[in-house]
Structure 1
Amino acid sequence: MRQPEREYIFKVIFEEFLGIPYKVEFENRVDIEVVNEQSSGTKLIISDIFLRTNELQWLQKSSLPKSPLSTFAHRLFGMVPVIFGEKNSGGTYFEKEPQAIYCGLDIFGSAFFMLTRYEECVITERDQRNRFLARYSIAYQENFLDRPIVNEYIEILWELLMDLWPKELHRRPREFRFLLSHDVDWPFYVVGKTTLQMLKEITADVIKRGSYHSAYKKLKTLWKTRGGNLSEDIFNTFHWIMEQSEKAGIRSAFYFITQETAPGLDGNYSMKDTEIKRLLNEIHNRGHEIGLHPSYHTYKEPDRIKQQFDILLDTARANQIKQSIWGGRQHYLRWDASETWQYWEDAGLDYDSTLSYSDLPGFRCGVCYEYSVFNLLTRKQLRLKERPLIVMEQTVIFASGLGLKGREACEEIEHYYNQCRRFNGDFTLLWHNSQLVKEEEVSLYQDCIGLLQTN
């Protein structure tokens, strides 16, 4: 049952995550048996629950995990939630015998559930921008959104394999990556605004928000850009951002909106603008990355995603910009589990980095590794990779329930950084170029970059 799904999750876990050779033989059984051909007589039996779901229940609410989830204690991870699994006759999830280990945690089914965002194809609740929020997810409801649960499951699997075959198996080493990206929504503050509009914003900064520093910088921008010179614009932080990244030894990725679909939401620039072309060349010449930020109304419109990517490629070619890999992120994190990945694949993009929640930071996919994605409707693995977004600065600074500042905001971000580092994963951080106006924003950003020097 569900052979394409099983082939996919085995490939991701064994090949992509662990880097160990394997082969699959399908049998009519109610569990998964892992054996080592070099060491006969011992085996690992793993519970197989989720991928044996009845066809009539598949992609239905009845197939979702039952709350509250059961848990078990682990020496490293504390109480581990069981998304899918079953206890043995003795009431535990693990049992060791001389020739076998029994694991009641459905490692493969639970990982498949998280990596494919299965629940988002089943649960219909959405916010006003038609986004699946953190609070709708099983991870939030069961209090493990701040943990890369799939990574924990992988480590548990590896412990079991090492218990049985410590000399025969060798895991591929991984290196931690700090992946920093910037959605270019508003490259310039003054473009598209009248002097009166800017003066009203400046007045509101003082009277309503008490943000005198922000008001001063906007007033300074209004004065210095009056002749059309955008180098002094407060949102034009690109040179400074690249400078900070270069000092830290990392590359920044800048994702551009290439076409407007929602006036007032899709930025204030065109790829034909002289200043944008100059910026693209500077980014490329300094060794940083350029990517796509499909506009507001694209996440369910494949033709628009393809068209906007073509505009980016045409602009790059016209400016002698070449990259081996092209990726990006959906604007406003608008994404649909049943469609958007396929549209990115069809457009020819190499990776997506949309998958975080708009209301809270955390591990939406349950993992801090980049991985190949799977189309739940066509039941096919795609060439496209997902590079899960772990933290967006706005969810920490502005999100309801957080709204953190200063040291508290830094500690929140540092928690996720440390979780990713623990598993030699990817800490993906999104910071908008326009979110570096206030002193506390600049300070927090520098603290985030500084994590590389302190760890």
Structure 2
Amino acid sequence: MILVYTHKITPRIRYIFKHILTRTLLIPVSFSSKIEDFVAHNGPKLSYTKTPLGNEFFIKSNDLLFEQGVNDLEISMQKWDEIPCFFTTNKKSNIPFDIFAASFYLISRYEEYLPHVKDLHGRFTAEQSVAYKHQFLEKPIVDIWAYKFLDILKERFPEYEYDKRSYNYISTIDIDNAFAYKHKSLIRSVGGFFNDLFKFKLIEVWNRFTVVWNLKKDPFDTFDKILRLKKEYKVKTIFFFLIGDYSTFDTNVSASKTKYKLLIKEMVDYARVGLHPSYFTMQNAPLLKKEKERLEDITNMPVKRSRQHYLRFSLPETYQNLIDLEVEEDYSMGYASNVGFRAGTCTPFYFYDLDFEIQTPLKIFPFALMDTTLNDYMRLTPKQSLGRIRDLKNEVKAVDGTFITLFHNENLSDYLRWKGWKRLYESMLKIATS
């Protein structure tokens, strides 16, 4: 255990020290604001305050962890051995930057509470983030800082036995469209047929006809293959099912369709299943509740994990709504337009609510990349995508973190915009599990 002395123990200090020391570096931590307790402690200890008490391990504190609410902070980026960092300390401090305040700024998504311009879908954009502006979005910077800090701790307290965490991988699959043509309503099927015909999409007209008349398997029905690869590579896999009512942005099969219900029930037998709340649930708590109950009725089990459709979430409202519904895990933390680490970390963390200044029970699992980001936004080829996937995986592996990817069942179809992408998912699994 390591003892931390600080002149004032705030919820922010408890939160971020536990994240860095306990969840990332596996070092138990306790806190004291009494100098005599600190002096009497025999094990590893450090002070986090304005001036050192003596010649102890000292980190000069930034004001951020002692404040409440949100202020417009000036972020001055510098380098710590070639690694970008901010919130400089002074010469008396054993580390040149207050990585605890800097980590809190990134993990709490402090910048997303500040005034910003939202994109077409009402989302905070990567381009406005400090990570994008200073070119460290594709590095789990908080974990890198933590490991640099660990090296210095080991020098100062070599007799302490340090545990080492292990790298792990989670494959997540969003089911926006379980089927391309099957099990759609008559109106949608006929409308789609004439729409394709009008636009001279003759291959799609033929495919729709052959699938609807059971002459061919639906191209988006790739679930057997995903489950086979899950078993072959021993991969933890989570399916997020969209079961909202039909809208411009929610075009999945109706949740009232027996075949769709059976598919969800089947996936529950082989993998973990979560809710994919529909487009308009971002700030609509009653709609979110309705969809959660709908999935629970199908699976006969409580919904514990979730990922927002279109990655549409607004802080803190969306997360507060999930907490009210007793959802325990959220997997929405990432950007649609860019790969990388939106919260600066590849370690799951608890959502800190800056409105109420508390650590909540909602655990956030940040993902590193999404297939539609690679294809639609970044316009990469499957081969180029594999290179980016390998780079991101190596970044996570270097800090023994959790590598999370987001793919869709459509990606494995080799159909329409996913032509040529069929093998990417398996190639990624090979990289991720090697």
Question: In structure 1, what residue type is equivalent to 2:136?
Answer: F
Q: Residues 52-451 of structure 1: matches in 2 within 5 Å? A: 58-61=69-72, 63-66=73-76, 69-73=77-81, 79-88=82-91, 102-171=94-163, 173-190=164-181, 191-192=184-185, 193-195=188-190, 197-198=192-193, 200-201=195-196, 216=203, 218-219=204-205, 221-227=207-213, 229=214, 232-260=217-245, 263-285=247-269, 287-317=270-300, 322=301, 326-399=304-377, 402-436=378-412, 437=415, 438-451=418-431
- Could you tell me which residue of structure 2 aligns to residue 26 of structure 1? 33
| Distance change (3 Å), C-alpha of 1:202 and 1:364 | farther
Say if 1:441 and 1:46 are closer, same or farther in 2 by CA, change over 3 A: same
Cross-structure match for 2:43: 38
Aligned residue for 2:240, secondary structure, equals: strand
Change in CA separation of 1:183 and 1:157 when aligned onto 2, cut-off 3 Å? same
2:290 maps to amino acid: Q
- 1:139, CA displacement in angstroms? 0.3
State the one-letter code of the partner of 2:79.
T
Q: How many residues were matched structurally?
A: 409
Distance of 2:287 and 2:39 partners within structure 1: 45
SS of the residue 1:23 aligns to:
strand
Partners of 2:383 and 2:264 lie apart in 1 by 34
Amino acid at match of 2:283: K
User: Is the CA contact 1:116–1:373 (under 8 Å) kept in the aligned structure 2?
Assistant: yes
Report the equivalent of 1:17.
24
| Contact map agreement 2:59 2:95 (CA 8 A) in 1 | yes
Structure 1's 306 and 141: CA in aligned 2 closer, same or farther, altered over 3 A?
same
Q: Taking structure 1 as the reference length, what is the TM-score of the superposition?
A: 0.83
Q: Which residue of 2 aligns with 1:8?
A: 15
Contact 1:34 1:44 in 2 (8 A): no
Instruction: Call closer, same or farther: CA 1:441–1:125 in 2, change over 3 Å.
Output: same
Q: Could you tell me how far 1:203 is from its partner in structure 2?
A: 8.4
Quick check: 1:230–1:236 contact (8 Å CA) kept in 2?
Answer: no
The verdict on how the C-alpha distance between 1:27 and 1:131 changes in structure 2, with shifts beyond 3 A counting, is farther
Aligned alpha-carbon RMSD (Å): 2.7
Counterpart code for 1:82:
C
**Matched-pair contact (CA < 8 Å) for 2:105–2:111:** yes
State which drifts further: 373-382 or 300-309.
300-309
Q: Displacement, 1:442?
A: 0.7
Report the CA distance shift for 1:405/1:364 in structure 2 as closer, same or farther (over 3 A). same
Structure 1 unmatched ranges of 5 or more: 74-78, 89-94, 96-100, 207-214
Aligned to 2:105, the other structure's residue is in SS state helix
Deviations 1:117-158 (A, max 9, x none): 000001321101110111010000001001110001110121
Distance (whole Å) between structure 1 residues aligned to residue 17 and residue 286 of structure 2? 33
Q: Which amino acid aligns with 2:259?
A: E
Asked if structure 2 preserves the Cα contact closer than 8 Å seen for 1:70 and 1:81, the reply is yes
% of aligned pairs identical?
25
Match of 2:49 in 1: none
Which residue of structure 1 lines up, in the alignment, with residue 51 of structure 2?
Answer: none
Q: Distance in 1 between matches of 2:129 and 2:371?
A: 21
3-state SS of the aligned residue for 1:440?
A: coil
CA distance in 2, matches of 1:38, 1:155: 20
* CA displacement 1:176-221 (0-9 Å, x = unmatched): 2221111111111122533563465488697xxxxxxxx75x4553
Supply the distance in 2 between the matched residues of 1:432 and 1:445 (Cα, whole angstroms): 10
Moved more, 287-296 or 7-16: 7-16
Alignment deviations for residues 316-361 of structure 1 (CA, whole Å, 9 cap, x no partner): 11xxxx57x7212001001112222221111111100101011101
Unaligned 5+ runs, structure 2 = 1-7, 46-53
TM-score, normalised with respect to structure 2: 0.87
Q: Distance in 1 between matches of 2:114 and 2:259?
A: 44
